[in-house]
């Protein structure tokens, strides 16, 4: 089993793509397989690559570590999706962004008697959404790193 893990909650910088046993991966919890292609908000994403290519990509990342973990745009889900499909995605981040967008105006509407507080919270919410989305959409560190992948079976001797 390959995971992008190992760092603790307070030190995600130590997170690595690494081999682990199935028991260590699941940590006495339920493990769920994700089917591909994923459909999210009506959009279908790439189908699953052949198993040998998924494994090759994961093994390549073990030997060619990606840039450090970043919750908003370089997390375990984005690494797994890249290995499985070649896409650079994080549906968890997209779900977070959806809730931020939906809740921010609600905060403003719920505080009509305290417009200054509501307006400040609205601006903070919008700023948080933009700041969170910007690195996710525009960070190229992991994307550039994965572009170096030479293809199935072309890297073992590197």
How far apart CA 115 and CA 93 sit, in angstroms, is 30
Q: Is there a contact between 36 and 80 (Cβ–Cβ < 8 Å)?
A: no
Residue 106 forms part of a structural domain: yes
**Tens of pLDDT along 30-64?**
888 877 767 777 777 788 899 999 999 999 999 98
pLDDT value at residue 67: 80
Residue 153 forms part of a structural domain: no
**Tens of pLDDT along 78-126?**
888 889 988 877 777 777 767 766 776 776 676 666 667 667 777 777 7
Position 157 confidence tier, pLDDT thresholds 50, 70, 90: very low
- Look at the block and give the residue holding tokens 């973990």: 69
Residue 156 forms part of a structural domain: no
Residue 157 forms part of a structural domain: no
| Residue 68 clears pLDDT 90, i.e. is over it | no
Residue 155 forms part of a structural domain: no
Residue 31 forms part of a structural domain: yes
Give the number of domains in the chain. Answer: 1
Residue 52 forms part of a structural domain: yes
User: Which domain covers residue 94, as residue numbers?
Assistant: 2-147
Higher-confidence residue of 141 and 17: namely: 17
Residue 158 forms part of a structural domain: no
């Amino acid at each position: 089993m390959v995971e992008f893990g190992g760092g603790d909650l307070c030190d995600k910088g130590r997170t690595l793509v690494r081999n682990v046993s199935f028991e260590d991966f699941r940590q006495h919890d339920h493990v769920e397989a994700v089917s591909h292609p994923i459909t999210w908000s009506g959009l279908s994403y790439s189908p699953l690559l052949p198993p040998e290519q998924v494994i090759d990509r994961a093994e390549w990342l073990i030997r060619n570590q990606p840039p450090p973990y970043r919750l908003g745009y370089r997390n375990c889900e984005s690494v797994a999706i890249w290995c499985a499909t070649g896409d650079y995605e994080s549906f968890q981040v997209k779900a977070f962004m959806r809730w931020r967008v939906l809740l921010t105006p609600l905060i403003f509407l719920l505080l009509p008697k305290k417009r200054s507080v509501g307006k400040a919270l609205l601006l903070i919410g919008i700023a948080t959404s933009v700041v969170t989305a910007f690195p996710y959409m525009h960070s190229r560190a992991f994307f550039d790193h994965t572009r170096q992948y030479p293809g199935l079976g072309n890297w073992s001797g590197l």
